[in-house]
Amino acid sequence: MQKYKGIFGKSFFAVSLLATLFIITEMVFQAFGKSICQTGGCQMVTEHTRFGDFSVLFIGLGTFAVLSLLSFLVIYKNRPGLEWYINSILIISLAAEGFFAGYQAFRLSTACIFCLITMGFFMLLGVLRLLYGEKELLSGFGAFAGIFALFYLILPVGNSVRLPEDELVLFYSKECKFCTEVIKQLDDKGLKVAHVPVGMYSGFLQSMGIEHVPTLYVNRKNQKIYLTGREAIYQYLDCSQKSEPAVSVSPGKRKEVKSGEAGKKKDQKAAPAVPENSPNDLNKLLAPQENQFNPFAKPEDPGMCKQTEKCD
């Protein structure tokens, strides 16, 4: 038994050291603008971290490095008094992994490959400690299962979603080339738009059947619509820009807007008012039969990317 205990102890040291090198590799990749994880789920998880991805990486690096050092001292320097610290760190880590796994599975509805590999390292270390004879690790696996289950049992509060109050809100992804094109177009037109990473509202948008970016939310007084896809957004901007100089509509009123230049004679006739229900270009564009802005319709516009996929 003592022979196998030594094998499990050395295996624990090797795995913790390998996990440390894994985290360091990811940090080096990110320093050069790349990542081991190429899925959209990793990007979404990154957007949900308060202090950026490096904060989580530093925590993981410190945890694995400490476990490597402690296990080295126990196995090769005969310091059995450090066993309690190894077990405590692993139990806390397994509980934390239960939180991360539950959050991804039941709140983000996506998976981060890098996070899953990291969780696999902690799981393997926990199993090695159990085989080493440290039964305390059962509580760590129990904490993991309990926290993971709580995310499944407790539904998210749908009414807690609070969208920006700007008239135009663009949901985008850094991995979407069409989002970059739309942002440039909006900037060129000089429009005031709130740019929001899609990861912040992914669950909210998916609950309405919107799974692609770029998505423009028009939040005007008499107009609340979601436009998904580069072409749909461009069409809306073109039509709204054509109609705005000629008409300003408010409930029950017609308001004339002069589009003249400085120096025009005062007796020059102002542009004729357009009735609220006039079939102008914008009304045609938003007509239900066109089905151009129905977020539940199957996307056929090539100028869009899935929220969780890299598209460049």
Q: Given pLDDT bands bounded at 50, 70 and 90, which one contains residue 245?
A: very low
Give yes or no for residue 240 having a pLDDT over 80: no
Mean pLDDT rounded to a whole number for the chain: 78
Residue 67 to residue 280: CA distance in whole angstroms: 69
Q: How far apart are CA 176 and CA 226, in angstroms?
A: 18
Q: Do 165 and 219 contact (CB within 8 A), yes or no?
A: yes
Q: Which two tokens stand for residue 193?
A: 């738009």
Q: What is the rounded average pLDDT of the residues 166-195?
A: 88
Q: Is the peptide bond preceding residue 214 cis, with omega within 30 degrees of 0?
A: yes
The answer to whether 28 and 61 are in contact (CB under 8 A) is no
Question: Would you say residue 282 has pLDDT above 60?
Answer: no
Task: Give the helix/strand (H/E) hosting 228.
Answer: strand 223-228
Predicted local distance difference test score (pLDDT) of residue 67 = 97
Strand, helix or coil for residue 150? helix
Q: What percent of the chain is modeled with pLDDT above 70? A: 73
Mean of pLDDT values over 57-77: 95
pLDDT score at 163: 77
Q: Are 103 and 151 in contact (CB under 8 A)?
A: yes
In CATH, the number for domain 160-249+279-306 is 3.40.30.10
Beta strand pairing call for 212-213 and 168-172: unpaired
Q: How many Å from the N-terminal Cα to the C-terminal Cα in the chain?
A: 55
Question: Smallest Cα–Cα separation from 259: which of 273, 270, 248?
Answer: 270
Token couple for 67: 């476990």
pLDDT tens digits for 12-46?
999 999 999 999 999 999 888 888 887 666 766 77
The residue extents of the domains of the chain are 2-153, 160-249+279-306
Out of 3.40.50.300, 3.40.30.10, 1.20.1440.130, 3.40.50.2300, select the CATH number for domain 2-153: 1.20.1440.130
Please tell me the distance from the alpha carbon of residue 32 to that of residue 178, in angstroms, as a whole number.
23
Residue 223 confidence (pLDDT) above 90: no
Cα–Cα–Cα angle for 277, 280, 282, nearest 5°?
100
Q: Supply the pTM of this predicted model.
A: 0.57
Answer yes or no: is pLDDT of 246 > 60: no
Min mean pLDDT across 142-146, 195-199, 237-241, 301-305 is at 301-305
| Cβ within 8 Å of residue 113, ≥6 positions away | 36, 37, 38, 39, 41, 42
